[in-house]
Chains A and B, each alone.
Chain A
């Protein structure tokens, strides 16, 4: 994975643009007759936190699902358009499993697998073929530490991950995603089941992570986008209404007045 350029800070996108990690062109998603997303084009740059905001049913989750080709679980999902990840069309990847290993996903409701905490985090390295116990130990400790969970669970790594509290499980899924060593991290409303203090801790973690990876963060809290995202896209009932620098959007420098209305909570 390429190293972070030295100037990758919140203002990086205005300086010479890094090569896009993700390029989406004319993406449309349908479920049978229901259109979930129409003609979305955007690109996400290396070490960027890209926020996506929008009310319910605007197509945010559907968008994320197409990126790592999780459409298998949605039998009648139809996807049109092009998605290039690391320069390659996601549909042209030799095997979809390798693609998914490069993309970490955190779901809205945390899914602690019914395995021990240790095995939750060691799963992905094991899938990659890591068997050495010490190597796994190191990975597990590092990922749990970075997900701000290590101190709480280090004495009970053998207990079931699915028995942790909601907030802990969410950090466990973040640790699990990190154990994939992903180039791109997708977060779907990660704070929905997490208390505000933990949310802040995770946000701090994300700010650190952006040095190593690119993050796309769907959030229903516009202030969260403001705190974290370099750029933000506003989705509304399947249309990408606007993409802009987060600072600009929150200052009211918008192309479409609906964006600012949504940001100010004057909506619907």
Chain B
């Protein structure tokens, strides 16, 4: 048993290192060739297919991913926290079970379906409601992504509320706290580790999601100035362009560099999650 677990742990580490090595290897020739660090991070011009003067500015892509993820969290945090509090603290019996199943069903919807919803329903809705020319933008992709991230965030948040022992609720209520005061002043602070990791997991989901964002964001290179601007995400760029590049070309390498960037960002998010949770624990 211990052996199997040991093997699992080791192989997980080997896989991660292997993936990183692979991505790095494909990206390296570009990194030491046409790559210009300053251009990569400060230029919004992502024109890898230009015949005579290809540029590889990833700023717009980075901001595209960041804005969509930010929008998604604005949607998902209140939604998932509210749902978790309702399911964990107020709902009982049948209601609770039904809601939990519903949330799990929501989590099982494939991302292409979400993308389709964004492309059709949400697109029309946004155009009509806000009277804008195009409904495929930060708002659309953010809402779609928020709804996609919410179920898993809800589940984790609810688990962390459930992990708060009842004796704390009992003690607070014995002092005359109402249900709501108990939740706000005792349960939520006690569960904050789990809540923080729920949010960070949602952020990670946001950075990594590809298909739905590709379909709902408009996929056009823009530095977003409002939620009604179309943007292009890092992931979507890789997905859309990788199939059309020659292996080993600068464009190919540039896409892998985007991959390295995503890898690093995801790593940093997880590291932050870890540090935050640890920091709270130490206190």
* B3 interfacial contact with A, CB 8 Å: no
Chain A's closest residue to B167 (CB) is: A111
Query: Which residues of B, 149-186, contact A by the 8 Å Cβ criterion?
Result: 164, 166-168, 170-178, 181, 185-186
Q: Which residues of A contact B171 (CB under 8 A)?
A: 105, 107, 111, 113, 173
- Give a binary string over A80-120; 1 marks a CB under 8 Å from any B CB, 0 the rest: 00000000000000000111111011010101011100000
Q: Dominant SS at the B interface?
A: helix
B283 lies within 8 A of chain A by Cβ: yes
| Chain B residues whose C-beta falls within 8 Å of the C-beta of A109 in the assembled complex | 167
Q: A113-B168, A113-B171, A114-B190 are in contact. Are A98 and B283 (CB under 8 A)?
A: no
Q: Are the CB atoms of B173 and A180 closer together than 8 Å?
A: no
Docked-complex contact A124 and B170, CB < 8 angstroms? no
Pairwise interchain contact A98-B176, C-beta atoms closer than 8 A: yes
**Chain B 242-283 near chain A by CB (<8 Å), digits 1 or 0:** 000000000000000000000000000000000000000001
Nearest Cβ on chain B to A174's Cβ, whole angstroms: 12
Complex CA–CA separation, A72 to B170 (angstroms): 9
6 A–B contacts from the bound complex (CB under 8 Å): A97-B177, A114-B190, A124-B175, A127-B176, A127-B177, A127-B185
Q: Given A73-B170, A114-B186, A124-B176, 13 more contacts at CB 8 Å?
A: A70-B170, A97-B178, A100-B173, A104-B175, A105-B171, A105-B175, A107-B171, A109-B167, A113-B186, A114-B189, A115-B186, A126-B185, A180-B176
- Do residues B283 and A160 form an inter-chain contact, with CB atoms below 8 A? yes
Report, as a range, how many residues of chain A touch the other chain.
20 to 34
B196 to chain A, nearest CB (A): 15
Q: Are A123 and B175 in contact (CB under 8 A)?
A: yes
Residue of B nearest to A96 (CB): B176
A70, B173: Cβ atoms under 8 Å?
yes
Q: Which residue of A lies closest to B189 (CB)?
A: A115
Q: Roughly how many angstroms separate A101 CA and B176 CA in the complex, as a whole number? A: 5
Residues B177 and A123 in contact, CB atoms below 8 Å apart: yes
Residues of A within 8 A of B (CB): 68, 70, 72-73, 97-102, 104-105, 107, 109, 111, 113-115, 123-124, 126-127, 158-160, 173, 176-177, 180
Chain B residues within an 8 Å CB radius of A113: 168, 171-172, 186, 190
Q: Is B283 touching A111 in the complex (CB atoms < 8 A)?
A: no
Report the number of A-B residue pairs with Cβ-Cβ less than 8 Å: 66
Cβ-neighbour of A111 out of B168, B178, B181 (below 8 A): B168
A114-B190, A115-B189 known; A100 vs B166 contact (CB < 8 Å):
no
Residue of B nearest to A65 (CB): B174
Q: Give the distance in Å from the alpha carbon of A115 to the alpha carbon of B175 in the complex.
A: 15
Which single residue of chain A is at the shortest CB-CB distance from B192? A114
From A72, A101, A158, A160, contact of B175 by CB (8 A): A101
Across the interface, which residues of A come within 8 angstroms of B166, CB to CB?
A: 73
A105 to B190, CA, bound (A): 21
| Max chain B C-beta neighbours (<10 A), residue from A105, A113, A158 | A113
Give complex CA distance A133, B172 in Å. Answer: 21
Contact of A123 among B164, B170, B172 (CB under 8 A): B172
For the complex of A and B, 4 pairs with smallest distance between CB atoms: A101-B176, A100-B176, A114-B190, A111-B171
Would you give the shortest CB distance from A1 to chain B, in whole angstroms?
16
- CB neighbours (8 Å) of A98 from chain B are 176
* In the complex, chain B residues whose CB is within 8 Å of the CB of A111: 167-168, 170-171
Contact B174 A105 (CB under 8 A): yes
| Cβ contacts under 8 Å, A105 to chain B | 171, 174-175
Chain B contacts for A102, CB-based, 8 A: 176
Interchain nearest-CB distance for A66 vs B (Å) = 13
Inside 8 A of A124's CB, which chain B residues have their CB? 175-176
Whole-angstrom CA separation of A224 from B176 in the bound complex: 29
Q: Shortest distance in angstroms between A147's beta carbon and chain B's nearest beta carbon?
A: 15
The contact of B173 among A72, A114, A126, A176, by CB within 8 Å, is A72
Output the least CB separation between B263 and chain A (Å): 36
CA distance A99 to B174 in the complex (A): 10
Q: Which residues of A contact B174 (CB under 8 A)?
A: 68, 70, 100, 105
Residues from chain B with a CB closer than 8 A to the CB of A176 are: 175
Task: Please indicate the chain A residues that have their CB under 8 angstroms from the CB of B164 in the complex.
Answer: 114
- State whether B168 touches A114 (Cβ < 8 A): yes
- Considering the chains assembled together, what is the distance between the CA atoms of A115 and B191 in angstroms? 11
B245 to chain A minimum Cβ distance, whole angstroms, is: 53
